[in-house]
Amino acid sequence: MSQQAWTLDVTSYWTRLVHFFYMRLSDMSYNKTVDSLGDYSWISWFLEVKGNGFICRVPTDFIEDKFNLIGLEFQTHTMDLVLEPEYDKHRWNNEVYTADAEQLYGMIHARYILSTGGVADMCLKYERGDFGSCPKVYCKGQRTLPVGLSDQWNQSYVKIYCPRCNDIFQPRSRCGLLDGAMFGTSFPHMFFMQLPAMMPSPPQEKYVPRLFGFHLHRNALVPPGSPEQMPKIQGSSTSQSTFLSSTNQMPP
| Paired strand residues for 215 | 210
The residue-averaged pLDDT of 238-244 equals 44
pLDDT tens-digit readout, 231-240: 554 444 444 4
Q: What is the pTM of this model?
A: 0.73
Model confidence at 91, pLDDT cuts 50, 70, 90, reads: low
- Output the pLDDT for position 92: 58
- Output the pLDDT for position 218: 77
CATH class, domain 3-198, is: mainly beta
Domain ranges of the chain: 3-198
45 exposure class (CB count in 10 Å sphere: 0-12, 13-18, 19+): buried
Higher pLDDT, 236 or 114: 114
- Output the pLDDT for position 239: 45
